[in-house]
Amino acid sequence: MMVSRFPLAERLKHLEILSNAALDLWPVPTGAQSRLINVSENATYLVEAPGGWRAVLRIHRAGYHSRRGIEQELAWTQALVADGLVSTPAPIPGRDGHLVQERFVPALDETRYMVLFQHAAGTQPDESDDLTVPFEHLGAIAARTHLHSQSWPLPEPLERLTWDLDAVFGPKATWGDWRDAPNVTPEVRAVLEQVETVLRRRLTAFGKSPDRYGLIHADMRLANLLIDGQSTCLIDFDDCGLGWYLYDFATGISFMEDHPQVPALRDAWVRGYRSQRDLPDADEAEIDSFVMLRRMALLAWIGSHIEAPEPQALAPNFAAVSAELGRRYLRTVA
């Protein structure tokens, strides 16, 4: 995990300059300007021009993906769209014809990769909404992406992330060690150490057979869904990589794992999934393990991204709630 030596505020100041100065790399309308709309792994900007033209600019975090890896992400999304399986915004080629553009940022002493996407209509769902119908749609979407990943020829070598036990708990975990997150008290740590031990055992036994493990979106949370009437647009494949298929359900309830409607959302997702692809009962029975795996990955993410507004807002109670979820999980698998 690469950590910048520059504070977030300073990075964003220079990235804002870049987000406007780099627009000449694409055939955007005269007068187009960008403004920051989200900071997570990447900095995301809404680009607007007179007359109502809109696009979305993603400036990639330095060191998170290679240029080839980003190109592989875009290749998969374009293949999914071409086969009519997913609705997701198309990348806009630069003036040189390439989907991935780059600029060196002298003030940060680093090169940043950038992708410009078409703007998609729709509204991000809220966890206070009744999400049953959207989650049934999401389950069907997930199943279609999994079926596609089984037949789509993976690029060689594949330069995407891997979402497995080592990625969450290993010495070089993608988002760092969950133990370093804020408010991981000795009591919280004791519970989550037990959870990690059980997850390692159960998911090792679950295995990585091709019917359970392959190329996944890996971040199907509410922030990456746009609902427009009966249509669901899935955005931000930035974390796509190799992982367990059921991990995609766990990512769908990211940050709301303790919400009262989660059991109904699980049922709806499974129902939607089975409308497109077989899901054996033995696999369904392991869903709670993937929910806990994702939750502990997010705990690590909060600790390693604490400069950003979203992790700061989540930090006060996230560890304690994770421990309570862990206690419930341990009771169910005992």
CATH superfamily of 8-118: Phosphorylase Kinase; domain 1 (3.30.200.20)
Residue 146 and residue 276: Cα distance in Å, rounded? 10
Mean of the per-residue pLDDT values of the chain: 96
Residue 128's φ and ψ, nearest 5 degrees, are -80, -10
pLDDT at 123 > cutoff 60? yes
Chain segment 237-284, per-residue pLDDT in tens = 999 999 999 999 999 999 999 999 999 999 999 999 999 999 999 999
Chain segment 164-192, per-residue pLDDT in tens = 999 999 999 999 999 999 999 999 999 99
Q: Report pLDDT for 40.
A: 85
In SS3 terms, the chain reads as CCCCCCCHHHHHHHHHHHHHHHHHHCCCCCCCEEEEEEECCCEEEEEEECCCEEEEEEECCCCCCCHHHHHHHHHHHHHHHHCCCCCCCCECCCCCCCCCEEEEECCCCEEEEEEEEECCCCECCCCCCCCHHHHHHHHHHHHHHHHHHHHCCCCCCCCCEEECHHHHHCCCCCCCCHHHCCCCCHHHHHHHHHHHHHHHHHHHHHCCCCCCEEEECCCCCHHHEEEECCEEEECCCCCCEEEECCHHHHHHCCCCCCCCCHHHHHHHHHHHHHCCCCCCHHHHCCHHHHHHHHHHHHHHHHHHCCCCHHHHHHHHHHHHHHHHHHHHHHHHHC
Chain segment 180-239, per-residue pLDDT in tens = 999 999 999 999 999 999 999 999 999 999 999 999 999 999 999 999 988 899 999 999
pTM, to two decimals: 0.95
pLDDT at 334 > cutoff 80? no
pLDDT at 1 > cutoff 70? no
Q: Report pLDDT for 284.
A: 98
Domain boundaries, the chain: 8-118, 132-333
Burial class (CB in 10 A: 0-12, 13-18, 19+), 177: middle
Q: Report pLDDT for 5.
A: 74
Confidence of residue 2 (pLDDT cuts 50, 70, 90): low
pLDDT at 25 > cutoff 80? yes
- Strand pairing report for 110-118 and 161-163: unpaired
CATH fit for domain 132-333, picks 3.90.1200.10, 3.40.470.10, 1.20.140.10, 1.10.240.10: 3.90.1200.10
Q: Report pLDDT for 7.
A: 87
